[in-house]
C-alpha cells in the first residue's frame, strides 16, 4: 500500500508529474516499488524470480546467467527483504503455540554450544498446525525472549516450551506446558514437534546456499518464514505482487547490515 513517508497516511493525491501528495501533511514524494527500483529488465526479473522460487542459488546459475553474480545477489537481497518485511506484519498468534530457540550456522570446529563464534541464535514461535514467526536474538537473553513473546502472541495463549528458565514467567500470561525430555525424546504425550519441524525445514532451505552471510542472516530467516507460511501457495505470482506493491523506502532499513 502506498503511504506518505512523512506521516504514514495512505490517502494521497496523484500529481501530474507522477509524484504523490499526502492528503494529511501535504508532503510531496515519488513512490517507487522494489520491482522498479531494480534496473534489470522485466524478463530477467521474472526469470530470476522463477529460479529463486525453485531454490536455485546464484552459484548454480553461472552457466545460464542472466546477469552478473553480484547483480543477481542484489536482486535476491531485495526479494528477501520484501519477504522479511511482509512477515513482520503477521498478526500475533493466539491459541496453542510452541516456542523454542535454536542456533544456525557456525563452524564444526571451535567452541560448541550457546555463544559459539559464528553462530546465530534464533527464537521461534509456531501456531499449532499453522504459521511461524522467527527472529534472531542478540543474546541468550530471557528479557529479549519475553519481549518477543509479548509482541507476537496474544495474552491467554497456551504455550508449549522446553524447560529453559526464560519461560518461567509464562504462566502469568497464559497456560504453560513444559515439555520434559529424556535422551532427546519428549516424556509423555506433549511435544513441540511443530517448531522443531520448522527448524529442520529452515536448515534444509538454507543449506544449499552454502553459508549464509551473517550480516544478512535476518533476510534469509525472513525468506524461510515466508516460504513456510506460504508452503501451499505458488510463490511466483505472490512475489511479483509483493515486489510491485512494496516501496523501496519501506525495506531500506532491512538492507542495513547487521554487525
Contact residues for Zn ion (CB under 5 A)?
A: 4, 6-7, 9, 22, 24-25, 27
Geometric angle at alpha carbon 127, from 121 and 132, rounded to 5° = 45
Task: Give the nearest distance from C-beta 29 to Zn ion in angstroms.
Answer: 9
Task: Give the nearest distance from C-beta 224 to Zn ion in angstroms.
Answer: 35
Dihedral of CA atoms 229, 233, 235, 237 in degrees, nearest 10, equals: -130
Which residues are registered as beta bridge partners of 100? Answer: 124
Q: What is the SS3 assignment for 150?
A: helix
Task: Give the nearest distance from C-beta 12 to Zn ion in angstroms.
Answer: 8
In this complex, which beta carbon is closest to Zn ion, that of residue 4 or of residue 243? 4
CA 112, CA 249: separation in Å to the nearest integer? Answer: 39
Long-range (24+ apart) CB contacts under 8 A made by 47-52 are 48/72, 48/75, 48/76, 49/79, 49/236, 49/239, 49/240, 50/236, 52/76, 52/79, 52/239
CA 210, CA 190: separation in Å to the nearest integer? Answer: 35
Any idea which residue has 520448522 for its cell? 198
Task: Give the nearest distance from C-beta 13 to Zn ion in angstroms.
Answer: 11
In this complex, which beta carbon is closest to Zn ion, that of residue 7 or of residue 151? 7
Instruction: Specify whether the CB–CB gap between 53 and 235 falls below 8 A.
Output: yes
Give the CA radius of gyration of the chain.
21
In this complex, which beta carbon is closest to Zn ion, that of residue 9 or of residue 207? 9
In this complex, which beta carbon is closest to Zn ion, that of residue 12 or of residue 49? 12
Give the distance, in angstroms, between the CA of residue 214 and the centroid of all CA atoms in the same chain.
Answer: 14
Task: Give the nearest distance from C-beta 26 to Zn ion in angstroms.
Answer: 7
Any idea which residue has 571451535 for its cell? 110
Task: Give the nearest distance from C-beta 28 to Zn ion in angstroms.
Answer: 10
In this complex, which beta carbon is closest to Zn ion, that of residue 28 or of residue 236? 28
In this complex, which beta carbon is closest to Zn ion, that of residue 219 or of residue 248? 248
In this complex, which beta carbon is closest to Zn ion, that of residue 22 or of residue 121? 22
Task: Give the nearest distance from C-beta 2 to Zn ion in angstroms.
Answer: 11
Amino acid at each position: 500500500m502506498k503511504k506518505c513517508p512523512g506521516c504514514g497516511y495512505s490517502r494521497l493525491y496523484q500529481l501530474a508529474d507522477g509524484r504523490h501528495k499526502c492528503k494529511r501533511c501535504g508532503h510531496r514524494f515519488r513512490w517507487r516499488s522494489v520491482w522498479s527500483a531494480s534496473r534489470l529488465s522485466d524478463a530477467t526479473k521474472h526469470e530470476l524470480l522463477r529460479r529463486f522460487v525453485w531454490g536455485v542459488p546464484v552459484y548454480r546459475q553461472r552457466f545460464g546467467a542472466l546477469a552478473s553474480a553480484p547483480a543477481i545477489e542484489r536482486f535476491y537481497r531485495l526479494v528477501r527483504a520484501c519477504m522479511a518485511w511482509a512477515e513482520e506484519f503477521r498478526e500475533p498468534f493466539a491459541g496453542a503455540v510452541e516456542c523454542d530457540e535454536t542456533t544456525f550456522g557456525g563452524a564444526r570446529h571451535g567452541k560448541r554450544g550457546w555463544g559459539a563464534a559464528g553462530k546465530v541464535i534464533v527464537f521461534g514461535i509456531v501456531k499449532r498446525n499453522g504459521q511461524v514467526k522467527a527472529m534472531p536474538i542478540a543474546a541468550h537473553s530471557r528479557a529479549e525472549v519475553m519481549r518477543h513473546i509479548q509482541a507476537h502472541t496474544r495474552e491467554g495463549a497456551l504455550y508449549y516450551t522446553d524447560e529453559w528458565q526464560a519461560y518461567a514467567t509464562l504462566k502469568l500470561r497464559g497456560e504453560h506446558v513444559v515439555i520434559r525430555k529424556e535422551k532427546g525424546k519428549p516424556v509423555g504425550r506433549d511435544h513441540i514437534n511443530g517448531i522443531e519441524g520448522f527448524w529442520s525445514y529452515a536448515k534444509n532451505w538454507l543449506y544449499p546456499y552454502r553459508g549464509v552471510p551473517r550480516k544478512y542472516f535476518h533476510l534469509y530467516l525472513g525468506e524461510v518464514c515466508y516460504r513456510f507460511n506460504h508452503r501451499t501457495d505458488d510463490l511466483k505470482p505472490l512475489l511479483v505482487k509483493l515486489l510491485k506493491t512494496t516501496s523501496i523506502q519501506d525495506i531500506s532499513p532491512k538492507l542495513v547490515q547487521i554487525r
